[in-house]
Amino acid sequence: MKIGVISRSREEYVGETKFDVLKQTRNLNPVYNPLERPKEYTRALNAAKIQRIYAQPFVYALAGHTDSLWRMAFHPDRVSWLLSGSCDGEIKIWNVGIQKTIMSFAAHTSSFVQGLAVHPNGNVFLSCGTDKAIKAWHYPDEDTSAVEETKYKPIKTWLSESSFYDLDIRNDKNSNTFATSSSEIALYDYERSNPISTYTWGCDSIRALKFNPVQKDVIVSAGYDRSLVLYDTRVSTTDSGSTVKKLILARNTNSLSWNPQEPFYFVAANDDSNLYTFDMRRLKESLYIHRDHIEAVMSVEYSPTGKYFVSGSFDKTVRIWNSHPDMSQNLAFTNSTEVYHTKRMQRVMSTIWSKDEKYVLSGSDEANIRVWKSVAWSPTSLLVRREKEKINYETKLTQRYKDLPEIKRIIRKRHLPKQVFAVKKLRKIQSQSKMRKERRVKAHTKKGRYKKTPDKQKNIVSIVN
């Protein structure tokens, strides 16, 4: 005869005080939990509603510039230190954490600050403008107090015959190489006064350029002739011998950004109000087409983890996108996950992510820098362990049930400005009309003669080798 004895320790079920939270034993066998899924669905529905109720993305604004914000750049090591350049040639250094201006000076007289980049070692930053000058500046120390702009001088200056439109530094702490775009792409070395090599291919002016973060000798550029060109800087030549590929798009590209974790992907912000993700290994079509803006997209920036990117547009909104959306239905178009806007914010010219991926910063025409939460409903206060576990549990629940109609409607619902809402409604009608026309043309065309161009290829006019 066997006798089962229950053995318990008093410490496991009796707390030291009446406020102690005791561990509850639970049998996870589905047989004993017949209502598990209905309960989870209700919790997911409540969590989705609470997330939208507490969605307050705007944190604060940084005021001090007197003209439109054009460029922004974070320090690689001091995560709260921000550089901003405006259209009046002024550069400000901010401590975003305490909302304080560290330094302000006139970098380029009566010209736009077209390019702004910090060296990976954090000691030097470069700026360029329409005054045909590139200037190198020492980054101030952390204990530096406000310095008069008349006493702050560049440590080196490079001059050119044409205005500059963009600037980028190679992602290498031991390298002194940087590139600029004007009438051509010029590759500079910090120790030399003249470019060490130049690159051009049938374009009068080059709007933007970016170094690949991993393949550090590869540059992607966007020209005013609607071109996207990949260059290999290991080949020093002025003709097309250094180019990997050249695409001609339907409209101009205003900004570019490489995915820092998957460096063969880059996204292009276009004048046709769309963003296009390309794979540099397969350029005959775009990987994704991101459409939600209604006017030209002026800036784009990937998050440090590469999971998201942020864009700013002439339609006075900031949008956050998933870099790899769920394409189970094999659709060509994707939509943004978040849209931020205020009544006072004008056309957004610059956007950037914080180094911890918790915040997004935008610079607009009314000379303000706005700080937004990357997750609109996330709390900004310090959380205890139980609060973090609760948030993680609710996030997992909403992800599990996100395709159910009621929860999907709550998650996707966003308030839009009146103008944006009206244009999106009109575009939806136009899109449906276009699809009906294509179906009728196909139905009344002889079998085998109707050829439809895929949506992912419609934005590409030609490919030049």
Mind giving me the DSSP string for 226-278?
SEEEEEETTS--SSGGGEEEEEEESS-EEEEEE-SSSTTEEEEEETTSEEEEE
Strands 368-373 and 359-364: antiparallel
CA–CA distance, 12 with 157 (Å, rounded to integer): 71
Identify the pLDDT of residue 187.
92
132: left (phi over 0), alpha (psi -120 to 50) or beta: left
Interatomic CA distance for residues 130 and 335, integer angstroms: 35
Conformation bin of residue 147: beta by default, left when phi > 0, alpha when psi is -120 to 50: beta
DSSP state of 76: S
In the block, tokens 């820098």 appear at 369
Is the dihedral angle over the CA atoms 77, 82, 87, 88 positive or is it negative? Answer: negative
Distance CA 66, CA 84 (A): 12
Q: Cβ neighbours of residue 106 under 8 Å, at least 6 residues apart? A: 89, 90, 149
Q: What single-letter amino acid sits at 147?
A: V
For CA atoms 163, 167, 170, 173, the dihedral sign is positive
- pLDDT for the residue 6: 74
**CA nearest 169: which of 114, 210, 136?**
210
pLDDT of the chain along its 465 residues, tens only? Answer: 788 777 777 666 676 777 776 667 778 788 888 888 899 999 999 999 999 999 999 999 999 899 999 999 999 988 899 999 999 999 999 999 999 999 898 888 878 899 999 999 888 999 999 889 999 999 887 655 545 555 678 899 999 888 899 999 998 888 889 999 998 899 999 888 889 988 887 777 899 999 999 998 999 999 998 999 999 888 755 444 556 788 999 999 999 999 999 999 999 999 999 999 999 988 889 999 999 999 999 999 999 999 999 999 999 999 999 998 875 556 778 899 999 999 999 999 999 999 999 999 999 999 999 999 999 999 988 899 989 999 999 999 999 999 999 999 999 999 999 999 999 999 999 999 999 999 999 999 988 888 888 888 888 888 887
In eight-state DSSP terms, residue 174 is T
Exposed, middle or buried: residue 142 (CB in 10 Å: 0-12, 13-18, 19+)?
A: exposed
Residue 314 confidence (pLDDT): 95
- Alpha-carbon distance of 363 to 345, in angstroms, equals 9
Beta bridge partners of 333: 289
d(CA 291, CA 274): 5
Give the pLDDT confidence score for residue 396 in this predicted structure: 94
In the chain, where are the structural domains located? 34-55+379-409, 60-378
CATH code for the part of the protein at 60-378: 2.130.10.10
Q: What is the DSSP letter of 206?
A: E
| Geometric angle at alpha carbon 209, from 204 and 215, rounded to 5° | 135
